């Protein structure tokens, strides 16, 4: 019987051919055009012997008609929308973080991945960052979460503004109270918030810069609408600035100090607080 080799054909981000996916009961006969099984095991673990690393980890993704901007570029820790290249264009796939399965490597010996569906190197990096994000994402103080979401409904407003800009704005960073943990009680005792919009300069820098500037204005207007009261000033949260920053100028120090805001972030009630390094 053949054994698992370091020189096997599989790599992270490869798609399992549909006939093999059906044989392994990852997809059903009716799913041939709607679901794809994607290998997410790291290349180093794939290369290890079956004795050391016996399984391949897989996510079965759902083909979607279009990308949701709030799920691209690992903006959501729970859901990723990722384009796969084909000879005729692209296929958009939705991956869910907790929908993982493990299968023995023995099922994949002498088998090859689907040659017609591939990830570009930059999108493979996005997949890796998203997989790590589930364990490394930032959390915010519970009092800030209550103000940002439940009391002011600002979270939903910002999500709606950012959704159409999925390919231009690759990340949103929050700096709350200059990184200090301060207990806030009264509405007029406001959290001081700086927002940084990281935008993509890879494809069309001028278009991305124009889009992010328009988005900045919408965010500032939304914050004033939700948080500023005439005669009282800022309530709950004070927006000090909303700043576009290109992916060519974000510094390592900034990436360590800022906390990346994910659309589905949770507060400290549920998650331990930690800084997030933008890979």
150 band by pLDDT with thresholds 50, 70 and 90: confident
Average pLDDT of the residues in 154-169? 87
What's residue 170's pLDDT?
Answer: 85
Work out the widest C-alpha separation in the chain, in whole angstroms: 80
CB count in 10 Å sphere of residue 134: 12
Q: How far apart are CA 76 and CA 57, in angstroms?
A: 20
User: What are the tens digits of pLDDT across the range 38-72?
Assistant: 999 999 999 999 999 999 999 999 999 999 988 99
CB count in 10 Å sphere of residue 248: 10
What's residue 126's pLDDT?
Answer: 92
What's residue 270's pLDDT?
Answer: 37
What's residue 65's pLDDT?
Answer: 94
10 Å CB burial of residue 255 (0-12, 13-18, 19+) is middle
Paired sense of beta strands 191-199 and 237-246, if any: parallel
201 band by pLDDT with thresholds 50, 70 and 90: confident
User: Taking the domains of the chain in order of start, what are their residue ranges?
Assistant: 18-135, 138-260
Count the helices and strands in the chain (H runs, E runs): 7, 11
User: What are the tens digits of pLDDT across the range 177-196?
Assistant: 887 878 888 999 999 999 99
pTM score of the predicted model: 0.65
Rounded mean pLDDT of the chain? 87
* Alpha-carbon separation of residue 260 from 111, 175, 232 (angstroms): 39, 9, 30
Q: How far apart are CA 221 and CA 81, in angstroms?
A: 29
């Amino acid at each position: 019987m053949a054994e698992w080799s370091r020189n096997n054909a599989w790599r992270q981000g490869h798609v399992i051919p549909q006939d093999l996916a059906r044989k392994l009961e990852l997809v059903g006969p009716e799913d041939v055009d709607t679901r794809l099984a994607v290998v997410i095991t790291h290349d180093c673990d794939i290369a290890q012997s079956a004795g050391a690393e016996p399984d391949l980890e897989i996510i079965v993704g759902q083909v979607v008609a279009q990308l949701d901007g709030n799920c691209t570029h690992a903006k959501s820790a729970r859901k990723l929308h990722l384009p796969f290249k084909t000879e005729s264009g692209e296929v958009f796939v939705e991956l869910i973080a907790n929908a993982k399965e493990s299968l023995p490597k023995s099922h994949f010996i002498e088998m090859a991945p689907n040659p017609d569906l591939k990830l570009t190197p930059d999108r493979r990096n996005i997949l890796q960052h998203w997989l790590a994000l589930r364990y490394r994402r930032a959390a915010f103080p519970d009092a800030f979460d209550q103000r940002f979401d439940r009391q002011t409904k600002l979270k939903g407003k910002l999500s709606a503004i950012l959704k159409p800009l999925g390919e231009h704005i690759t990340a949103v960073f929050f700096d709350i109270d200059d990184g200090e943990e301060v207990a806030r009680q009264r509405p007029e005792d406001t959290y001081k918030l700086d927002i940084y919009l990281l935008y993509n300069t890879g494809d069309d820098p001028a278009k991305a810069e124009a889009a992010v500037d328009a988005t900045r204005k919408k965010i500032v207007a939304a914050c004033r609408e939700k948080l500023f009261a005439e005669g009282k000033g800022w309530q709950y949260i004070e927006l000090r600035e909303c700043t576009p920053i290109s992916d060519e100028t974000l510094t390592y120090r900034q990436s360590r100090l800022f906390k990346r805001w994910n659309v589905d972030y949770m507060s400290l009630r549920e998650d331990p607080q930690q800084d997030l390094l933008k890979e």
